[in-house]
Amino acid sequence: MVSDTIIRLMNEQITKEQYASQLYLSMSAWFYSQDLEGVANYFRVQSKEELMHADKMFDYINNVGGQVVLDEVAKPPHEFSGAQDIFEQALEHERLVTKSIFNIVKAANDEGDFATTSFLQWFINEQVEEESSASLLVTKIKMVKDNPSALYLFDQELAQRVFTPAAEN
Ligand SMILES: [Fe+2]
Ligand SMILES: [Fe+2]
């Protein structure tokens, strides 16, 4: 039902989701090192969400009779020039992931593989949300600039985020 090409692209996507998880965990670590625990929490939750994405794809490949083949996950950066730099990189990264998912959808469409396009619909919607929240945070961190009390409030706000696996379904 699902071609080898699509299985290969889905396997590559698993690696990309795992890398996104590593990247956000590294960003989280940077914020912990700056004592911005709320922002660190936000990225830690984000990191877990990315693993859930990889997990969903893992299940899909198995369900359609393919084999999951794991790859090396690249080392994420750990030096950042500041909070704004991180939020901009996160937004940039989400845009890359969106492109990558769109590529699989396009390939699946060309093959008339409706099972995969239907499965990936969830990811398309998810990317709309991811890009929207990443872009909102870029705007907010620009407003904060070097104002310590604004940064304190921003950190408090992001401390509220909790990981909810149910929201992933
Ligand atoms: Fe993802
Ligand atoms: Fe993401």
pLDDT in tens, 81-107: 999 999 999 999 999 999 999 999 999
Span from the CA of 53 to the centroid of ligand 1 (angstroms): 5
Span from the CA of 97 to the centroid of ligand 2 (angstroms): 7
pLDDT digits (tens, 9 = 90+) for 9-55: 999 999 999 999 999 999 999 999 999 999 999 999 999 999 999 99
Token pair, residue 95, equals 């845009």
Q: What's the domain range around 16? A: 4-69+78-168
DSSP reduced 3-state for 144: helix
Average pLDDT, whole number, for the chain?
96
DSSP reduced 3-state for 82: coil
Distance CA 31, CA 38 (A): 8
Helix locations, the chain, DSSP H:
4-33, 37-63, 83-110, 114-144, 148-158
Span from the CA of 148 to the centroid of ligand 1 (angstroms): 31
Q: Which ligand is nearest to the CA of 91?
A: 2
Residues with CB under 5 A from ligand 2 (ion): 130
CATH of the domain at 105: 1.20.1260.10
DSSP secondary structure code for residue 160 in this structure? T
Q: Which ligand is nearest to the CA of 46?
A: 2
94 is in an annotated binding site: yes
Q: How many domains does the chain have?
A: 1
pLDDT digits (tens, 9 = 90+) for 43-80: 999 999 999 999 999 999 999 999 999 999 999 999 99
Place of tokens 């590294």: 26
50 is in an annotated binding site: yes
Place of tokens 């398309």: 124
End-to-end CA distance of the chain: 23
